[in-house]
Amino acid sequence: MCGIFGIITKNEEKLGPILVEAGRRLSYRGYDSVGCATIHKDNTISLRKDVGKIDEVNQRLNFDEMVGSRGIIQLRWSTFGAPSQINAQPHLDSDGDMVGAHNGNVVNNVELRQQFIAEGMTVRSQNDGESCVHAVERYVDQGYDMVEAIRRAYKDLGGDYAFVIGRIGEDRLYAIKKGSGLVVGLTEQATCVSSDLPSILPLTRRIIRIRDGEIIILEADRVELRRVEDGQVITREPELITESMESAQKGGYAHYMLKEIHEQPRVAGELIRLLEDSPTVLPMVERMSGARNLYLVGCGTSYHACLLGAVYLATLAGRPAIPVLAPQFTVQYGPTLNAQDVGVFVSQSGETKDVLSALDVAQSKGMGALGLLNVIGSTLTLATERYLPLACGYEMSVPATKTFTNQVIAFLYLALRMGNLPAASLARMPELLEQALETVDPQVEKLEKALHGWNDLYCLGYGHTYPIALEGALKLKEVTYAHCEGMLSTEFKHGPLSAVQEGYPVIFVAGPEDVPVIVSGINEVTCRGGRAIVIGEEDPRLRANASELIVLPQAGPLLNPLMSIIPLQLLSYRLSLARGFDPDFPRNLSKTLTVD
């Protein structure tokens, strides 16, 4: 999740310290490289950028010394193009008279780069931020003014993004929003634009929130908004922000975990659009299809995504896949591996030591290795033949939420493509996730008091929802410190049923195709005085047998598992707060595990 900030002032001045401070306040979003550009009144542009954290790059390149009347800083979270100096943003156009930077994913980046090269433009990087600049350059070179060029470029650029751009010879900056966040700030001496509030609040609390399909023309003493659709002027009064800096960084949410739970509809949509245009999907599908044995390797939450991925591959593509915990992979399968086998190695960070150790063993046997991860430029991206990015942006909270959702979506998409099935059904995913968040939270809130006193409980699923039960149990363990065991519902009677007593809580995750099996399990619990809390779509059989029913949107068997994780994430969050814990930083745990 990149961060951008641009500012235009009345006079040429030392903008470096302002840009650096704005960058620091955007750094919570996560990034691997940083760059600054300033535009001078003598019609020159200064551009400095490199891989690394803002303070160390500032020390090397002296951002603080940069002068100009317009400035842009960008913190890049890599998706298109590995982290490198050339792929870092901002970017220049071919002639070096425009400079710009973006936040988001331009999903048709590869095709656009080919077009720009064929048209004779100077394309220096693999980064989609550069494609935003060249998309404007294309129409400026045809004689259009900047507003009209941006309007036309908007139609060429696929995906979700926001970008800011400036041109020599003008006292303006321009910005546009399509999906990614963008907000404008107004001061007495300047105007500024940013991905979000934290970088603006130290300068001003007078802001204008920008909506999709809007172009912003920034001058030092005024801001004009136009509709990209027809170029017409939009009137919108500034608002006064009263929230604190900490609240602004968390998007108004009390904790990063809650913020990231609510980001799931958006990042799901971004990943789906990215996958639809990714040149990597087909080669990965072909590699997986041709494998003698196909292994899905991960740890913790990533392993649960592998479990569900294996179900999708079997049901949609008729392809057996072996989900396995990374440390067990070496012991259980290492001696049998050969060059005909393929593994998909899954890691949020791309640095999980257990996964990298399994990868080393696989490659020592000549096995094919593919990656599924969130951090571009991580060890896993460099070590695998091909990889797919999860496009989640930075996940600050230790418990994984949005990265799990996108891991599962990636597996589902690969399974559909492997089975030669249409992926159009995934277009509903963001809307369904949004609906689930809206409808489930009030239902979960009612359970908080009922479960608060229990330090031992079970979470059971079947078929598609068995991996969800494991992931839900993990979330409850991580942030509430209560013991919650995830199990296959039909295994509960083989021993653990002995734990049930009066009022004992057992959570069931019911897929729409598995209701009869789940009803049987419910009654094994309730007839012994236990409390059966069921997560599922509205169904008279569940309604009649459950102690409580948390109703999910009607999504069908393929998409239902991703609806089912929402109440378990929210329940974990609420119970953590009720117990007085910080859900973002549970004790004894780390976000990236780099030890065996």
Largest CA distance in the chain: 83
The separation between the first and the last C-alpha atoms of the chain, rounded to the nearest angstrom, is 29
Give helix 556-578 / helix 466-480 axis angle, nearest 10°.
Answer: 10
Burial classification of residue 418, based on how many CB atoms lie within 10 Å of its CB (0-12 exposed, 13-18 middle, 19 or more buried)? buried
Instruction: State how far the alpha carbon of 104 is from the alpha carbons of 4, 121, 309, 537, 593, in Å.
Output: 10, 23, 26, 34, 27
* C-alpha to C-alpha distance for 104 and 565, rounded to whole angstroms: 26
Residue 2 bears catalytic tag: yes
* C-alpha to C-alpha distance for 209 and 194, rounded to whole angstroms: 10
What CA dihedral angle connects 430, 6, 73 and 101, to 10 degrees?
50
Question: Does residue 477 contact residue 583 with C-beta atoms inside 8 Å?
Answer: no
Q: To which H or E segment does residue 557 belong? A: helix 556-578
DSSP 553: P
**Going by DSSP bridges, is the β-strand pair 456-461/483-488 parallel, antiparallel, or unpaired?**
parallel
Question: Does residue 358 contact residue 345 with C-beta atoms inside 8 Å?
Answer: yes
DSSP for 150-210, please give it: HHHHHHH--EEEEEEEEETT-S-EEEEEESS--EEEE-SSEEEEESSGGGTTTT-SEEEE-
* C-alpha to C-alpha distance for 384 and 342, rounded to whole angstroms: 11
Q: To which H or E segment does residue 16 belong? A: helix 16-26
Q: To which H or E segment does residue 406 belong? A: helix 402-418
Q: Of the residues 53, 353, 365, 591, which is catalytic?
A: 591
Residue 132 bears catalytic tag: no
3-class SS of residue 112: helix
Beta-bridge partner residues of 206: 240
Q: Of the residues 2, 132, 192, 392, which is catalytic?
A: 2
Q: Give catalytic residues, as residue numbers.
A: 2, 591
